[in-house]
Structure 1
Amino acid sequence: MLKKLLFIFCLIFAGVVRAQNVSLKGIETNKALAIADNNTFVLQNNCLHVKFVAEKRRLSASRFTFRNKQIELKGTPMFELELKDDIILNSADFELKGPLKIVNIKGNNKSVKLAERENGKEISAELLNAKYGISMKWAAILKDNSNYIRQVFTFNSITDSLRIRKLQLIKLSEKNGVAASGIVDGSPIVSKNFYFAVESPISKYEAKNGWVSSYIEGQEPTPELTVSSVWGGAPENQLRRAFLYYLERERAVPYRQMLHYNSWYDLSWNDRKLNDTSCLDRIQTFADSLTIKRHVALNAFLFDDGWDDNQTLWQINKANFPSGFDNIKRLANRYNASLGVWMSPWGGYEQAKEQRLQYGRKQNPPFETNSHGFSLSGTIYSNRFKNVAANFVSRYGVTMFKFDGVGAGDKLTGAGAGYQTDMESLLKLVSTLRGVKPDLYFSLTMGTWPSPFWLKYGDALWRNGWDTNTAGQGDNRQQWLNYRDGEVYNNIVQRASLYPLSSLMYHGICIADNGAPAKFEMNDKDISDEIWSFFGSGTSLQELYINPHKLNTANWNCLAAAIKWARENADIMPDTHWVGGDPSKGDIYGFASWSPKKAILTLRNPSNTAKKFVVDTRNIFELPLNSKAGYRFYDAKSGGKQPTAPVFTGDVYTVTLQPFEVMVFNAKPTL
């Protein structure tokens, strides 16, 4: 009876783990206010103050203040349009059509987006440029408990389609100490205490003639264009966390862990096709060894490349799945899990991709393509892709998609002119599918770059680089970990400092018989290192590229313990940030997450020599000013929620990591 009760308890709590919001000291319980005084309109709370002026039928922004810091905005246009025929218009060229309005916003407690649950205030206006026939609706929004305001701009052409070459929404003097926070498109512009951005991964930035600006480029004529921006403030030395606080509230769905089996390297490999029997075996084996025996349930089973019939384009292979996905859905649901599906917007890879392309070209009319494969910007192909994905959700209860391959490929800084319309189409596709099921989980892989604004659409981005490879010292599995985390450091940490590491696709835990993982050592120590270092990264995309028949009892126990630990700390893992140096150079490195009540720290030595590392809590946890720095550190791998004796206590401590050692700590502030 006890085992049965434990199993039921496990199933009840196997659903997607949702974290609380990121902690930002002094922002909580902060009501939004809107004040009108003659021609002056103010949005404010007890932290920020933004003033807009409506004068002589023109709208302008005057000042942005956060606590005692200020950005002067006088003389800076609120927006600037560059039309296709070299005409440049800015906010001073648009007249107000009527008075500004103040609107109360009522929050919706059932919304999956955190910000939409909050009440707030909105100031709105309509403007017109009669000469060029362009109207514009503008809204500035401040929600309760916010450290930022958002502005939404909707442009319409009265007589013809808009032909916008460039739309600039952010323009700030370099005298304010502002600069881009990264080198990729969609990087916020920041100063010590402020951040500004166009809320789009395809936005660009420019520093020129003493000004720093952010803008989007138009590609195709359109009857309407809606773009938004954010202005935010940060407490002293808390810029990353302040931006993350905003992002966690405004992303499509807040951080939630998605633990799942992925068939790649196991059942899926090259041109091999999946079948009902083998998929059912993997579901049952994980259920027997993890869910029933160790009371840890997966959220989903994702079936990668190989489920489709290449001659039909994204239709299930009827020969191998005569009942479609009904059987695997039924078995997964029995253990409170759902299904996930791999799909490739550009058609996949190698022979299977070519077969899909051949099929697409034979259709009447043919499916649209570009130099990399199918084109999502094509109406015919986009509709096929969208309809197949929506059917997976409605018929088979699919809760997550791995979209693999779009745009120009790997290690990009942006879409590039040739692929911007494809990227815009991908964003529209994801938004459309969220209309079917708002809390779908999207892993957006090859072709993306680490702009945080991808998270207004998807849930996790590719770290870039090869799926698996080796680098540095150690045996094959240790070299794989060196490579994996070295790519994260060089492609994400160094290129996009405000992208959250908790929303990355690391390429999971790899224990299988195909590809590079087939050569990775199977000793228990190496496998433990991979498991703990992976879950220590804090990523929500918890991929298990695991053939379950290869795991022994020690491996299963380790996997279950690490999963439980990650779930116990899901409330602070959105805050995950990099500590230490460059894995590819043999530096000790790791991940830390913090909240006022607790913290966690993972460290790894990627070299074959013992090394020392100084744990300075103020630096490691990026503590707010005036926070107490004393912590008790406990070994998270030793079992139990909190061993009685701490490993060390204090604010500065030097640890020694043996070659390839992984340390994982739970930390509690001292009284």
Structure 2
Amino acid sequence: MLNYHQLKRPLIATVFLLLGYSAKSQQITLKNDLIQRTFSYQGKVWRTIKFSNGDGSRVLNVTSEEFNILPLDGNKTLSVADFTSLGKPRFYKHGDTTFLEIKYKPLSAARANSACPELLVVNHFVAKGDRVIRKKIRMLFSEQATVDRLEVERFVAKGDQQGGGRGEPVFVDHSWFFGLEYPGGYSRCRNGNFPASFSRYYDKVGNYSFIDLEGRDIEPDSLNGLIRLMHFPGYALPHQQQFELNSKVSVVGVSSPQQDVRQAFMQYLSTIWKAPRSFLNYNNWFDQKAKNLKGDNFVEVYKQYKNILDPYGIKIDAMVPDDGWQDRKGIWNPSPAFFPQGDTDLELLSQKLKKEGTGFGLWLSLNSYNNNIDWGLKNGYREAGRNAYFKQYGRYYSLSATKYRDEILKRIPELAKKANLVYFKHDFNELCDLSEGNNHPATDRHGHEANLDVALQVLVATKKVKPEIFQNLTNWIWFSPWWLQYADYLWMLAGDDGINGNTPEISTKAMFSTDRDTYIWRLYGNPADQPLVPISRLMTHGILQTSPADKEIPLQDWMDYVLMHYGRGTLLKEWYISLDAMTTEQWKTLSSVHSWAKQHEAALNNVRFVGGRPDEGNAYGYIGWEKNKGVFVARNTGPAAQKLVIPFNEAMGFYGAKGTYKANVVYPYQDLYPATFKSGENIEIEIPGYSTMAFEFEQGTSSADKTPERNIDFSTTKVSAQTLKTVLTIPANVKRRCDLLLIGYPQIPDISINGKTLPFSRQTKALLNNFASYAISGMPSTKAADWKMAAIDLSAYAGQTVEIVYSQKGKFESHLLYEKNVEQKSSWLLKTELLPLTNDTRRGVIQLY
């Protein structure tokens, strides 16, 4: 198929008669069986007058300026009205793609504009079977020229208009989408200026990227219904005896009948992205014992992993040294401390790992962030000029500066090929450069585009030599769906290993989950304004377990934590695990969840976030569908049972057969959920307090009856101004856990049980808005209040009545969390990889005060 991104001039091909063109009608149409773009000859130029689907039943009428050119040295723009068409439009074919080429020359008055080309060539093209039409503009100048802003599309349309922003499409009239196939493009709609720069709900969250457009994206003469697709190209480049500037490719697509336009966009995206793939890797960033890459040390680490995982049928796809493998005084050469023979030793390590059954990956920042920039300056490399936002972070080279650009375009693909790499973790993607002399105008917007262009070239060049390589982009990316043409995964922009202590939880592993999931809530929790990048494509920093003390974590806490990681659908499965920090049972549960996620990968790849903000005590979860099968992983971060209400329709990615469905509980026990769900209506599922659960949906009806709640006998009374008393009869059939949970705001009351002071089995305390300083933007909760929490094990009192006396120190809560024994129903046992840790009990939490 034609690589249209490389299109620079018409290919030699058969010229066709102008279909639909005549002197009388003065209209031409580019089309295939699914989509059409129609032009009208008006005032010696060709203007788009409508877009329509293949049979013409869906039409979007437009008033188009076709393009808009803004010079760097002024505000006077050029549109198609400042040109005249040169000759007749030309249809031609290359393979299965049909092109329409229209050439323009400027009017005399336009030539005074410094950004006016001598020749402007517009190529529209459509491939057989596509629901999209693309467009690219080529401008030729007789001398050096600079274009500040180029609008590849500019037109007015009626109908609802949504979306837009950096690297985002615009959705029109619930049927059409428009955008640039470029993560650094900008789209505006409604009045030509919506949304304002960096104003999407998720634009400034966590470790976000910021580029100052200095208002040059703004249209001063806004117009109702105006849509603009633009980028900031900067310099025209020498080409033969002229200078040439090529636009990014624009795309327009249409949904099929009864199809949601966002679903249509995702179907289109799936034709150009790197296909979703699961990838399990070990990363040594937190594992001190694996930092030493000398000799066979790293291979020995893998061998130990392999011995543990082989019985479970799990294979690690790659062993990955993080930052530290490289010589910081150089351009991505191996450190002589670990690799005395340079590339030869690095290749040898890769060969040894491959022989043992795994691959080799590397951490690498494209701009050499964390390397010795002073060394680079002495050796002719140029440092990037950082804007005010990025000055708070470290230094790095300009990707667009000639020497460094040429070096990394050669070195990074060479490294991938020589060392037979299967994975790159590309960290620190500032893509910000205001410096003079780096092959772009010295502005933030032009430096950004120039550096981004080189970054994309490196990714493409690497993939060319290693077609199956996995590529992960981390710090300071943004959530443009068009990144997925080049990268497999994008960083979620959180802190590396955060613990969120905004809401009372007794498990520190639960706080780790709350941290990750609160970031995802902040990004995806607003259904009206959320990224189009699937949650499953996010890098979340994986499973973290590095201290021997972590062996003491209760097994269910550990499995809850692991299940929430996999329940997000994450395809990039990173294990930051130290071998001396795991028990046999922890390995067993981790392996069971990994295998279960592999079994349900298709559904998990489509997960949507549901529920409320996790660190404010709300229940939440992730639901994903693949045809008639669904998976739902949910968690309740508060003590009271909460009901999650989930739309059972296309909004949640359900495109299966309509009808009735049942839910099988697969964790922490196995049973039928006592409800039948009907597509088109809401799914309502209740999650007990402080619980993590997993469900599998399938067609059918539930025959299960809801287990009647047996009231727990208790009473709480006031004894004096500062003293309360609870008389509680503990059920005789409690098993595993029967914890009195005390939450003080902030102080826990003094407490006695039957006149005795019992020790706390666990204690935790608030860590309010404990977000990493570099990833705190948009995250602090206004509801978080100081707290302390403690648990007292009451299982020894099963079947007895106890008297609990509290000496108040302010506001507090008292809850009983218990696991009550139930009769196991072996007939419900499912063929699932998940271990049902509590198959013979059911959890309940009751508030005593």
The answer to whether the 8 A contact 1:267-1:274 is kept is no
Q: 2:131 aligns with which of 147, 155, 160?
A: 147
Q: What is the distance in 2 between the residues matched to 1:610 and 1:263? A: 39
Q: 1:488 aligns with which of 520, 532, 535?
A: 520
The Cα offsets for residues 253-274 of structure 1, whole Å up to 9 and x where unpaired, read as 12111221111111489xx654
In structure 2, the residue matched to 1:396 is 419
Q: CA deviation at 1:95?
A: 4.0
In structure 2, the residue matched to 1:649 is 676
In structure 2, the residue matched to 1:359 is 375
Aligned letter for 1:370?
Answer: G
| Worse-matched range after superposition: 424-433 or 88-97 | 88-97
Q: What is the distance in 2 between the residues matched to 1:150 and 1:520? A: 56
In structure 1, the residue matched to 2:184 is 202
In structure 2, the residue matched to 1:525 is 556
Q: What is the distance in 2 between the residues matched to 1:570 and 1:145? A: 28
Q: What is the distance in 2 between the residues matched to 1:562 and 1:450? A: 28
Aligned letter for 2:638?
Answer: S
Give TM-score scaled by structure 1 length: 0.81
In structure 2, the residue matched to 1:344 is 365
The answer to whether the 8 A contact 1:635-1:647 is kept is no
Q: CA deviation at 1:240?
A: 2.8
The answer to whether the 8 A contact 1:463-1:492 is kept is no
Q: Where does the alignment leave 5 or more consecutive residues of structure 2 unmatched?
A: 1-16, 195-221, 238-243, 387-393, 433-442, 702-849
In structure 2, the residue matched to 1:219 is 234
In structure 1, the residue matched to 2:318 is 300
Question: CA 1:159–1:670 in structure 2 vs 1: closer, same or farther (change >3 Å)?
Answer: farther
Q: What is the distance in 2 between the residues matched to 1:604 and 1:141? A: 48
Q: What is the distance in 1 between the residues matched to 2:553 and 2:508? A: 10
Q: CA deviation at 1:470?
A: 1.7
Aligned letter for 2:481?
Answer: P
In structure 1, the residue matched to 2:252 is 231
The answer to whether the 8 A contact 1:509-1:546 is kept is yes
Q: 1:283 aligns with which of 302, 308, 329?
A: 302
SS for the counterpart of 1:383 is: helix
Q: What is the distance in 1 between the residues matched to 2:157 and 2:618? A: 35
Q: CA deviation at 1:65?
A: 2.7
Does the alignment pair 1:506 with 2:540? yes
Aligned letter for 2:531?
Answer: S
| Worse-matched range after superposition: 239-248 or 140-149 | 140-149
In structure 2, the residue matched to 1:77 is 65
The answer to whether the 8 A contact 2:183-2:480 is kept is yes
Aligned pairs, number: 602
In structure 2, the residue matched to 1:241 is 263
SS for the counterpart of 1:602 is: strand
Does the alignment pair 1:466 with 2:499? no
Does the alignment pair 1:564 with 2:547? no
The answer to whether the 8 A contact 1:202-1:415 is kept is no
Does the alignment pair 1:156 with 2:139? yes
Identity %: 20
SS for the counterpart of 1:37 is: coil
Aligned letter for 1:256?
Answer: R
Q: CA deviation at 1:533?
A: 1.5
What are the residue-to-residue correspondences of 1:10-409 with 2, within 5 Å?
Answer: 36-38=19-21, 39-44=26-31, 47-53=34-40, 58-66=45-53, 68-73=57-62, 75-86=63-74, 87-104=76-93, 106=95, 119-129=96-106, 131=111, 132-153=116-137, 155-173=138-156, 175-181=158-164, 184-191=165-172, 192-204=174-186, 205=188, 206-207=193-194, 208-210=222-224, 211-222=226-237, 223-234=244-255, 236=258, 238-251=260-273, 253-267=274-288, 274-290=293-309, 292-322=310-340, 324-334=345-355, 336-349=357-370, 353=371, 356-363=372-379, 365-371=380-386, 372-374=394-396, 375-407=398-430
Q: CA deviation at 1:303?
A: 1.4
Q: What is the distance in 1 between the residues matched to 2:97 and 2:697? A: 36
The answer to whether the 8 A contact 1:150-1:230 is kept is yes
Which structure is larger by alpha-carbon Rg, 1 or 2?
2
Q: What is the distance in 2 between the residues matched to 1:408 and 1:174? A: 34
Q: What is the distance in 2 between the residues matched to 1:608 and 1:417? A: 52
Q: What is the distance in 2 between the residues matched to 1:161 and 1:591? A: 53
Q: What is the distance in 2 between the residues matched to 1:560 and 1:91? A: 61
Question: CA 1:277–1:243 in structure 2 vs 1: closer, same or farther (change >3 Å)?
Answer: same
Q: Where does the alignment leave 5 or more consecutive residues of structure 1 unmatched?
A: 1-33, 107-118
SS for the counterpart of 1:480 is: helix
Q: What is the distance in 2 between the residues matched to 1:246 and 1:415? A: 31
Does the alignment pair 1:598 with 2:598? no
SS for the counterpart of 2:618 is: coil
In structure 2, the residue matched to 1:456 is 485
Q: What is the distance in 2 between the residues matched to 1:328 and 1:94? A: 61
Q: What is the distance in 1 between the residues matched to 2:236 and 2:643? A: 59
Pick 1 or 2: higher relative contact order, CA cutoff 8 A, min separation 6.
1
Question: CA 1:647–1:430 in structure 2 vs 1: closer, same or farther (change >3 Å)?
Answer: farther
The answer to whether the 8 A contact 2:624-2:653 is kept is no
The Cα offsets for residues 376-397 of structure 1, whole Å up to 9 and x where unpaired, read as 2222223333333222211111
Q: CA deviation at 1:637?
A: 4.9
Q: What is the distance in 1 between the residues matched to 2:414 and 2:621? A: 41
Question: CA 1:467–1:92 in structure 2 vs 1: closer, same or farther (change >3 Å)?
Answer: same
Q: CA deviation at 1:608?
A: 3.8
Q: What is the distance in 2 between the residues matched to 1:337 and 1:548? A: 17
Q: 2:644 aligns with which of 599, 606, 613?
A: 613
Q: What is the distance in 1 between the residues matched to 2:659 and 2:134? A: 34
The answer to whether the 8 A contact 1:607-1:659 is kept is yes
Q: CA deviation at 1:430?
A: 1.8
Q: 1:476 aligns with which of 508, 521, 531?
A: 508
Question: CA 1:523–1:85 in structure 2 vs 1: closer, same or farther (change >3 Å)?
Answer: same
Q: CA deviation at 1:341?
A: 0.7
Question: CA 1:629–1:383 in structure 2 vs 1: closer, same or farther (change >3 Å)?
Answer: farther
Q: CA deviation at 1:638?
A: 7.7
Q: What is the distance in 2 between the residues matched to 1:561 and 1:120? A: 48
Q: What is the distance in 2 between the residues matched to 1:257 and 1:318? A: 33
Q: What is the distance in 1 between the residues matched to 2:686 and 2:525? A: 24
Aligned letter for 2:280?
Answer: L
The answer to whether the 8 A contact 1:368-1:381 is kept is no
The answer to whether the 8 A contact 2:232-2:449 is kept is no
Q: CA deviation at 1:46?
A: 5.7
Q: 2:582 aligns with which of 532, 540, 551?
A: 551
Q: CA deviation at 1:228?
A: 0.9
RMSD, aligned α-carbons? 3.3
Q: What is the distance in 2 between the residues matched to 1:382 and 1:611? A: 54
Greater fraction helix = 1
